[in-house]
Amino acid sequence: MTSENDSARAVQVDDLSVDLGGRLVLRGIDLRIRQGEVVAVLGTNGSGKSTLIKTVVGLLPAARGEVRLFGTPVPRFREWRRVGYVPQRITAAGGVPATVYEVVSSGLLSKRRMFAPLGAAGKQAIEDALEVVDMADRRKDAVAELSGGQQQRVLIARALVSDPELLILDEPTAGVDLASQQIFADAVRERVTRGTTVVMVSHDLGPMDALIDRSVVMRRGRVVYDGPPHASQTHAHVHHSHTDDDPGWLTS
Ligand SMILES: Nc1ncnc2c1ncn2[C@@H]1O[C@H](COP(=O)(O)OP(=O)(O)OP(=O)(O)O)[C@@H](O)[C@H]1O
C-alpha cells in the first residue's frame, strides 16, 4: 500500500466511513491533499465537515477506511507538532482555569511531552503568536473571561505557535471580527508562501477566499465536488439533484 509518494501527501483519506451513535455520518470519503495545497471544505450544516476534520486529527475513530498524515496512519502518528488544529469552538478549555498564555503555549507541547520546559525560542514563538492575534495584552487573563471571538483568536494563536507544516482549521474565524479575520488571513498567507498546507472548513471564507486553490464540497457524509474553488457551489448544486441513493436522514 505504501508508495514513495505517500509522505509527500500531507493528508490521505481512503474509503473513510465514520459512525457516530449508530449513524453513518461519513460514507466512503477519498481525499488526497498534497503538501502546500490550500483546501476549503464546504457544505451545508450537518454534511459531515467537522466529523471529517476530527477524524483527520485523530479525535474520532474510523469505522472503515484509513486516514494518513504525512504517510503515517493517524493511530500511529506521533509528530503532532507538525500539525496545527483550530477546533470549531473552545470546548477544550471549558471549566479549566487556563490563561491566554497557557492555552497558546499548549500549542508547543506535543502530546508526549506535556511538561517539557520552554526554551527562549518557544517563548518568542508564543509572543509572536499572541501579537499576530492582537492578544498580547490579555496574556494573563483567563480564557473563560474572554468573548467568543477573542477565545477563537487564542485558539488561532495556539495553532500557529509551533509553525506547523499542516494547518487544520474548523471554521477558525467564526465570530471573529473582520479586521481580525484579515490579520489571520495575512498570517496564513505568509505561511502558505513558505509551503504550509492548509485544510479549512468554512461557511464564509471572507479574506481567506483568495488563498484557496481547491474546494471540497460535502453533502450527507459524502464528497460531491472536489476541484477548482470557483465552480464548487454550482457543481455541488447540480450534483445534489443526483443523490437519489441518500437514505433521507439529514433531509431538512
Ligand atoms: N456525537 C454525535 N453523535 C451522533 N451524531 C452526531 C454526533 N456529532 C455529530 N453528529 C451528526 O453528524 C452529522 C455531521 O455533523 P458535523 O458536525 O460533522 O457536520 P458539519 O458539516 O460540520 O456541520 P456544521 O456546518 O453545522 O458545523 C450531523 O447530522 C450531526 O448531527
Q: How, if at all, do strands 9-20 and 83-86 pair? A: unpaired
Q: Quick one: pLDDT at residue 247?
A: 35
The ipTM value here is 0.96
- Edge-first strand listing for the sheet containing 64-69: 23-34, 9-20, 64-69, 72-73
Q: Quick one: pLDDT at residue 242?
A: 40
142/130 Cα distance (integer angstroms): 14
Q: Is the pLDDT of residue 136 over 90?
A: yes
pLDDT digits (tens, 9 = 90+) for 34-78: 999 999 999 999 999 999 999 999 989 999 999 999 999 999 998
Q: Ligand 1, from 41, 42, 51: best to mutate by most atoms within 8 Å of Cβ?
A: 51
Query: Angle 148-160/120-132 helices, nearest 10 degrees?
Result: 140
Ligand 1 atom at shortest distance from the alpha carbon of 249 = 29
Distance between Cα 18 and ligand 1 center (Å): 11
pLDDT digits (tens, 9 = 90+) for 168-209: 998 888 888 888 888 888 888 989 999 999 999 988 888 888
Q: Which range, of 25-29, 106-110, 165-169, averages the lowest pLDDT?
A: 106-110
Distance between Cα 206 and ligand 1 center (Å): 23
E runs forming strands in 35-74:
38-43, 64-69, 72-73
CATH code for residues 80-212: 3.40.50.300
Ligand 1, CB cutoff 6 Å, lining residues: 20-21, 23, 25, 43, 45-51, 250
Q: Is the pLDDT of residue 154 over 60?
A: yes
Nearest CA residue ID for atom 10, ligand 1? 20
Residue 51 has which C-alpha cell?
Answer: 466529523
Q: Ligand 1, from 16, 18, 20, 44: best to mutate by most atoms within 8 Å of Cβ?
A: 20
Distance between Cα 184 and ligand 1 center (Å): 26
Distance between Cα 240 and ligand 1 center (Å): 19
Q: Provide the 10 A C-beta neighbour count for residue 115.
A: 5
Distance between Cα 116 and ligand 1 center (Å): 35
Q: Are 161 and 129 in contact (CB under 8 A)?
A: yes
Q: Quick one: pLDDT at residue 204?
A: 80
Which among 199, 249, 223 is positioned nearest to 27, based on CA atoms?
Answer: 223
Which among 190, 124, 179 is positioned nearest to 153, based on CA atoms?
Answer: 179
DSSP state of 247: -
Q: Is the pLDDT of residue 92 over 60?
A: no
31/12 Cα distance (integer angstroms): 6
Give the pTM. Answer: 0.83
Using only the alpha carbons of the chain, give its radius of gyration.
Answer: 18
97/121 Cα distance (integer angstroms): 26
**What's the mean pLDDT in 102-120?**
69
Q: Quick one: pLDDT at residue 194?
A: 92
Distance between Cα 190 and ligand 1 center (Å): 32
